[in-house]
Structure 1
Amino acid sequence: MTDASANTPATPRPGKHAGSLLEQNARTLRRNAAERRFRAYGLSAIVIGVTALVVLLASILSQGLPAFQQTFITLEVHLDEAKLDKNGNRDIEEIKKVSTFGYAPLIKTALSTRAGELGISSEDLGVSDKEIAAMISKEAAAELRRFVIANPDRIGETVEFEFLATGRIDGYYKGRVTMESAEKDSNISPGQLQFADALKEGGALSTHFNWGFFTMADGSENRPEAAGIGVAMLGSLYMMIIVLVLALPIGVAASIYLEEFAPKNWFTDLIEVNISNLAAVPSIVFGILGLAIFINYAGLPQSAPIVGGLVLTLMTLPTIIIATRASLKSVPPSIRDAALGVGASRMQSVFHHVLPLAMPGILTGTIIGLAQALGETAPLMLIGMVAFVREFPAAPPEGFFDPASALPVQVYNWTTRADPAFVERASGAIIVLLAFLLCMNFLAIILRRRFERRW
């Protein structure tokens, strides 16, 4: 006979632990509180990081965006034949003998004539003719001379030009210079600022986008308004071409050998350790290496893109090798086994099957390595690319051996100068550099998304 009570579920006896599965005890409360604190710490860290990034970007943009605007003075200059071509035969060699000092009076006369047409009296404003002429950049005479040499048939005509205003006049319309500060500044006077306001009201002075910032070379200490990043952009481009041509094939070939063909022994382990260590070496060490080998030993020219490209290649190789090996490892072993199983050789399995599947990671690593090289400054300073360069390098391959600068080095140069206009130029160059880096990183993301396969 079966006891009915044996199949009846036991009723829990009431006690102090009743309902413990539904109620949180002290230990659970402490654990949940710790989890909430950890989430708060993580969220605080993100907020602090994003805030710092926003403040940094806001500071760079506020200082750098005015660099893309410039103040110009529009004048109609009479190209006096008696001063520019006394013989009247339009001989280029004779015209080239006229220095920029011969063009300065033409600009001064044009400015005085323009002021008279607008009814601006220099005597009422308390400015001399010398101060009026000083409102136009010293680069204007050189610009006018280049125009005449390129167009000798225009001598004798009256031609309209847009000349750069000086850095102080430009700073007045960007908020760097005020009437109060002009009273204490030996480079500008309140009368000159009032004269500039009168020119602006008459339509002879305007502030608009400055394409010269991208096309002009560096400016001297007293010509910040004429400074541009043209030479620096070209130098950085040449170096990136050298890095891409050298680092990509060498890095990929070394990665394929180490990952797919090299025997696993102490020697390959030593190579792998040294590659990892090279990726962590400070960039200035590569600059010292480049100075010792490429300049002192090989005799390559200083401040040349070829030397900068070789130094940056050495610095970028570990990054590409590490990224490529990681991409090769991510390809499933079954791909290799299947290729070998149908009769493919070891090389065929690697180049026909493994390498195409690893290409997204290889391209990503290469672009990130190039982006890192584009922003390096210390190694380029040691090989002489910190020098003042006014002439543009020639087209490749000759241009690889011509003196040039680079964007990061140009930023460093401008930040060391006293004139606030150069600080503005430096922030503008930083914006351009950040734009290039963002584009390269976006390209890396797009390539990975485009070619990535999930296993």
Structure 2
Amino acid sequence: MSETTAKVRKSLARRYRQEKRFQAYGILSIGVGLLALLILFTDIIGKGHSAFFEHYIQLEISLDRDVLGVDDASDDEQLNYANFGGVIKEALRERFPGVDDRQQQRQLYALVSSGASYNLRDELKADPSLLGGTRNLWLLADDDVDLYLKTPEKKRPEARLGDQQKQWIEDLEAAGDTEKRFNASFFSHGDSREPELAGIGSAIVGSFFTMIVTLCLSFPIGVAAAIYLEEFAPRNKFTDFIEVNINNLAAVPSIIFGLLGLAIFINLFGLPRSVPLLGGLVLTLMTLPTIIITSRAAIKTVPPSVREGALALGASKMQVVLHHVLPLALPGMLTGSIIGMAQALGETAPLLLIGMVAFIVDIPGGPTDPATVLPVQIYLWADSPEQSFVAMTSAAIMVLLAFLITMNTLAVVLRKRLERRW
């Protein structure tokens, strides 16, 4: 008896050791995953946080009527053709006298962004009394200057600016003529070749219109298909064929849906490229299998007793579905739809194939206007040779991750608060 007990205890001890090792492996796996996620987030935030700020340079601007070629500051046509670049260059020459060489002058003018002329125009348009006077105004710095001012002093010698330009910037910084401000234009402007003028405003609005089209099409179609397949469709080979294909479509690579959209919506129906309407149609095709599968799973969670009780009270099959089954399954359907929309928001490959990789400057006003989306904007900036676009790419990734995390959190909250346990 004691020998048998010893064998049992030895076997139990071995099983307990195996269980502890398995738990340790699981904890280690979770730790490695969290570490990788921490490294990824640290790298993205470390590179992208600086894009949310930009530097301005203060200059004493003389808004001379003759130099500007403006007689009436309230005349929009005169302001559109005014020589704002000339007065900015004159202010730079006065701030740093003795720069006569043409090469040095080009370097001096490069301290200020090419978009400073538009800022100056807006200043004059907002306050016409500035015309003919002299005033200290803050102008947007060039992206290389902005990058230099954001760089720690130990790494500044590695900047690609010339020695003379670095000296001018340090003189401005010492005199208090540089200022760091929140980069509001990053969220309000469209794309630009100049990093200091570029923003994700067009991509955000384009993503919004694309998601609206996707939601308006995929949610009702997906829910209706799930209700039919689960509640009304007869069990035969045809419905089995449909179910198998829906499950297969959920695993199809997203680029295939892009090819499908290219073949059907563009080549067959002739829809214009790079519009949110087309992007929404393609993402609808990609999202439908996910919404149908999750909606069917939500319908299956409703107990049969609910259906049987409603039928026993004289309700029709349609009344049972609309008044009892659908309200109880709706939280699960919403959760699946939000997860599907979050997946669609982060897609790039299908949208590249339908032409949403276009260079879009203007903010789209509707689903039929040319637009791009956040993932494609990130793709474009990541391929740009300008060094400042590195920070802007990471900042755009941070914004996209914030949207995705918010949508997934909303799905979890809805599931926790609305779903019923039977």
Instruction: State the TM-score, normalized to the length of structure 2.
Output: 0.92
Q: Where does 1:43-442 land on structure 2 (aligned, <5 Å)?
A: 43-86=27-70, 88=72, 91-98=75-82, 102-113=83-94, 115=95, 128-145=104-121, 148=124, 155-158=131-134, 161-175=137-151, 178-182=155-159, 185=160, 188-220=161-193, 223-394=194-365, 399-442=366-409
Unaligned stretches of 5+ in structure 1?
1-16
Change (3 A) 1:70 1:310: same
What is the alpha-carbon distance in structure 1 between the residues aligned to residue 126 and residue 237 of structure 2?
67
Q: Which amino acid aligns with 1:200?
A: E
What is the alpha-carbon distance in structure 2 between the residues aligned to residue 231 and residue 161 of structure 1?
28
Q: Which amino acid aligns with 1:294?
A: F
Number of corresponding residues? 418
CA contact (8 A) 1:386 1:409 kept: yes
Larger radius of gyration: 1
Q: Displacement of 1:200 after TM fit?
A: 2.0
What's the CA shift string for 1:341-399, capped at 9, x where partnerless?
111111111111111111110110111011000000001111111111111112xxxx2
What is the alpha-carbon distance in structure 1 between the residues aligned to residue 250 and residue 28 of structure 2?
31
What's the CA shift string for 1:42-81, capped at 9, x where partnerless?
1111111111111111111111111111111133433322
What is the alpha-carbon distance in structure 2 between the residues aligned to residue 161 and residue 410 of structure 1?
32
Moved more, 171-180 or 332-341: 171-180
Identity, % of aligned positions: 50
CA contact (8 A) 1:92 1:152 kept: no
Change (3 A) 1:354 1:41: same
CA contact (8 A) 1:316 1:369 kept: yes
What is the alpha-carbon distance in structure 2 between the residues aligned to residue 284 and residue 176 of structure 1?
42
SS in 1 for 2:272: coil
Change (3 A) 1:157 1:310: farther
Q: Displacement of 1:151 after TM fit?
A: 6.5
What is the alpha-carbon distance in structure 2 between the residues aligned to residue 261 and residue 364 of structure 1?
23
What is the alpha-carbon distance in structure 2 between the residues aligned to residue 441 and residue 86 of structure 1?
54
RMSD: 2.3
CA contact (8 A) 1:164 1:226 kept: no
CA contact (8 A) 1:215 1:229 kept: yes
What is the alpha-carbon distance in structure 2 between the residues aligned to residue 28 and residue 287 of structure 1?
56
What is the alpha-carbon distance in structure 2 between the residues aligned to residue 55 and residue 311 of structure 1?
34
What is the alpha-carbon distance in structure 1 between the residues aligned to residue 127 and residue 283 of structure 2?
42
CA contact (8 A) 1:217 1:229 kept: yes
What is the alpha-carbon distance in structure 2 between the residues aligned to residue 226 and residue 138 of structure 1?
9
Instruction: State the TM-score, normalized to the length of structure 1.
Output: 0.86
Change (3 A) 1:210 1:90: closer
CA contact (8 A) 1:235 1:404 kept: yes
Unaligned stretches of 5+ in structure 2?
none
Q: Which amino acid aligns with 1:104?
A: G
